[in-house]
Amino acid sequence: MITLNDVAKKANVSKMTVSRVINHPEQVRPELREMILNVMTQLDYHPNAAARALVGRRTRVVKLTIFEDMDTTEPYYMMLLAGIANELNQHQYALQIATRNSYEVGECDGYILTGIRQADYAWVERLNQPVVFVGSNRQGYDYVDTNNYQAVWESTRYAAEQGYTHLVFIGIAIAEPFELDRERGFREYVTTHHISAQIIRLANHSHVATAYVKSHWSGFPRNTAFICASDRLAIGVETAIINQGGRVPIEYGIIGFDGVLLNQIAAKRLTTMKQPLEAMGRAAARLLLANINHTDRSRGRHDQEKIIINSRLSVAESTR
Amino acid sequence: MITLNDVAKKANVSKMTVSRVINHPEQVRPELREMILNVMTQLDYHPNAAARALVGRRTRVVKLTIFEDMDTTEPYYMMLLAGIANELNQHQYALQIATRNSYEVGECDGYILTGIRQADYAWVERLNQPVVFVGSNRQGYDYVDTNNYQAVWESTRYAAEQGYTHLVFIGIAIAEPFELDRERGFREYVTTHHISAQIIRLANHSHVATAYVKSHWSGFPRNTAFICASDRLAIGVETAIINQGGRVPIEYGIIGFDGVLLNQIAAKRLTTMKQPLEAMGRAAARLLLANINHTDRSRGRHDQEKIIINSRLSVAESTR
DNA sequence: CTGTTAGCGCGTTCAA
DNA sequence: TTGAACGCGCTAACAG
């Protein structure tokens, strides 16, 4: 293992000078700095994270806490995770995964939280450490989120532009901000453009959507497009349409939300709004790291910071 | 922050004694040990991972490398992950997630590897660090795996015992050990018990299964049960049966494999072979930790160790 | 069985 | 601008 000392000897300086090249490069004469950097790459030197953690009173560990049953979890989190992990790795930080039942063990420098419900906020409050949410919140914590409004607005526009003349938004029956934003995206587009439209709210299960579409089939003329708030709903809609003898995408269009796994089950590959999950993960990690470094210097809460990331429509076979 | 010293002072012993209570409890007089343990809980003492890492020449980080595209990944990994993370947390280890593109950054004490293909073994070889696989391998590395043979054997038995008289195994068309074991489980059961049966191998997509069952419908008499090697295939089979007017589970039975998410899409909740993913994750972590501690003392490779975990049939609505 | 000493690799503080 | 000394929290090795 190469240490600071090894580099120092080879470069004929004290180890402090080498340390400064890493932490306060501006305090070292440029030529000397260059030389030392050279030696460092030559020796393939990597600072020892444990030693830095020890002296810096940092753990160099970030915890990701997922407040949701893993059982029913979508692949969603896996991609988010990848983004977070990648970003943290680059900064010599390790990620620790904490689930509902194990979230007290070990120390860390900060938390990334997701899937939170109202009841969990008390716990968050007591953490007293830097925190970043994935998904919006109204209690003033920093967060990263997708632009739900924009996503559905664009899905709707796409459907309209493809010539579907009746638009149906199938939402999730839950009064959370993310859902309200999605509905708003739909409503604003169809209102502005005077398009025949309706909004339906269902429990987020495919068979519920299937049953609904089946029993209201006469209300969906040809040339209807369904903009769905989740892929589960989209799959359910597709099943119903096919069972009723409707043709996708010629007579009916379907747009899902965040299609990852479920596409492998749909008869036609779903046109779907893709959330940039990897990017969201990276953003959350970066935001948290910034908070950690900031908190070090100045105590006290800063203003809520929000990072909103746009989604992209991935066009496939369920729309024309 | 509570340190060893704080505990030592309060307990009127040297900090070495406290340290021993943690690392070599057998070297401390039982009553003294008890007393110190008390003080430790009283003070809510937690050893500082960084300091231990520093002196122990360990990073206290384990890397999980998933050699597979996250895009198409099943929720599978998420649960595995939870198991690994929980176990590592208990041992003051942090988990780092490495994906295909980021697997060189940072140091660690060992690797948990999964989703590996033939081409990746060269990379594994060069690691030169303790390694544990999730999923079997023939190159002599330790691994944790489900008992694929047992799982399908029991599914098959269950179907037979429920009175389905014709059994069909829908396998995945791929010559990997896991698939061969599953087929073997099916074959041995039906052969031993002289049951009318057939084996079919398909690409692992639900629509492929749907198409196959549809076009061979006349070959599947009433009272047939389909034992499927994946839930995707099971869902596809179910769709076909329903489209053909067959009734589940009265006339036809379906058993899936490892139903996590997909159940939310099936018309009838699938009867499915549940892999104990959390347990597998924990087992993998424990095995790796053992290897890490072992390698510390004695250099050189030991015999391949295998941990095979049985699955459990979760009976739901797609069988009687 | 228990305590003392020394040092892991690094960064802060102070002195040069 | 650079260096020397000290200590972060912990444990291995030795001494008692």
Helices (H) and strands (E) in chain B, counts: 11, 12
Listed by number, the residues of chain A in 95-124 with a beta carbon closer than 8 Å to a beta carbon of chain B are: 95-99, 101-102, 105-107
B135 vs B287, residue with greater confidence: B287
Before B249, cis peptide (omega within 30)? yes
From B51, B99, B261, residue closest to A261, measured CB to CB: B261
C-alpha closest to that of A243 among A265, A267, A219: A267
Of B42, B43, B41, B40, the residue nearest B18 (C-alpha): B40
Residue B260 scores a pLDDT above 60: no
Taking the C-alpha atoms of residue A271 and residue A257, their distance in angstroms, rounded to an integer, is 8
Fold classification of B2-46 is 434 Repressor (Amino-terminal Domain) (1.10.260)
pLDDT in tens, chain A (320 residues): 889 999 999 999 999 999 999 988 899 899 989 999 999 998 999 888 889 988 988 888 899 988 876 555 566 788 888 899 888 888 888 888 876 655 555 678 999 999 887 778 888 888 888 999 998 888 889 999 999 999 999 999 999 999 999 999 999 998 888 899 999 999 999 999 999 999 999 998 888 999 999 999 999 999 999 999 988 899 889 989 988 999 989 999 999 987 655 555 556 677 888 888 889 999 999 999 999 888 766 655 678 899 999 999 988 888 88
**CB–CB of B99 and A90 under 8 A?**
no
Q: Output phi, psi for A257, to 5 deg.
A: -135, 115
Q: Is the CB of A230 under 7 A from strand D?
A: no
Helix (H, G, I), strand (E, B) or coil at A257: strand
CA gap B89, A105 in Å, rounded? 6
Whole-angstrom Cα distance, residue A51 to residue A19?
12
Residue A314 forms contact with B (CB below 8 Å): no
Mean predicted confidence (pLDDT) in B240-251: 92
Per-residue pLDDT at B314 = 87
Q: Which nucleotide is nearest to A8 if distance is taken from CA to C1'? A: D3
User: How far apart, in whole angstroms, are the C-alpha atoms of residue B137 and residue B67?
Assistant: 14
Residue type at B246 in one-letter notation: G
Query: Which residues of chain A does CATH 1.10.260.40 include?
Result: 2-46
> Which bases of strand D sit closer than 7 A to a protein CB?
1-5, 7-13
Residue A201 CA to residue A193 CA, distance in Å, equals 22
**A195 CA to chain B: closest CA distance, Å?**
31
Nucleotide whose C1' lies closest to the alpha carbon of residue A31: D1
What whole-number distance in Å separates Cα of residue A88 and Cα of residue B275? 31
Decide if A133 contacts A140 (C-beta within 8 A). Answer: no
The CATH homologous superfamily of the domain defined by A59-144+276-309 = Response regulator (3.40.50.2300)
Q: How far apart are CA B39 and CA A238, in angstroms?
A: 63
Question: Touching check for A65 and chain B: CB below 8 Å?
Answer: no
3-state secondary structure of A69: coil
pLDDT at A271: 87
How far is residue B285's CA from residue B91's CA, in Å, rounded to a whole number?
A: 10
A78 touches chain B (CB under 8 A): yes
The whole-number average pLDDT for the span B291-318 is 82
Cα(B252)–Cα(B241) distance, integer angstroms: 8
- Give me the count of residues in chain A: 320
Which residue in this structure is represented by tokens 């940072």? B106
- Alpha carbon of A57: minimum distance to chain B alpha carbons (Å): 9
Q: Which amino acid is at A274?
A: K
Q: Convert the pLDDT of each residue in B125-144 to its tens digit.
A: 888 889 999 988 888 999 99
- CATH 3.40.50.2300 maps onto chain A at 59-144+276-309, 146-274
**Helical H runs in chain B?**
4-11, 15-23, 30-43, 49-56, 76-90, 121-127, 148-161, 177-192, 206-215, 231-243, 277-297
Task: Establish if B232 touches chain A: CB-CB under 8 angstroms.
Answer: yes
What strands, in cross-sheet order, belong to the sheet with B224-228? B196-202, B166-172, B224-228, B252-257, B271-274, B312-314
pLDDT reported for residue A230: 87
Question: Across B125-129, B155-159, B269-273, which has the greatest mean pLDDT?
Answer: B155-159
Q: Under CATH, domain A146-274 is a member of which superfamily?
A: Response regulator (3.40.50.2300)
Residues whose CB is less than 8 angstroms from the CB of residue A122 and which lie 6 or more positions away in sequence, other chains included: none
pLDDT of B269 > 80? The answer is no
pLDDT at position B162? 96
pLDDT (mean) for B302-315: 90
What is the mean pLDDT of the segment spanning B219-243?
Answer: 92
pLDDT of residue A102: 55
Residue A243 burial (CB count, 10 A):
14
B108 CA, D16 C1': Å apart: 39
Say whether pLDDT at B219 is over 70. yes
Asked if A94 lies within 8 A of B205 by C-beta distance, the reply is: no
Q: Which residues between 189 and 218 in chain A have a beta carbon less than 8 angstroms from any beta carbon of chain B?
A: 205-207, 210
- Decide: A235 and A255 in contact? Cβ < 8 Å: no
Structure tokens at B38: 């008390």
| pLDDT for position A299 | 55
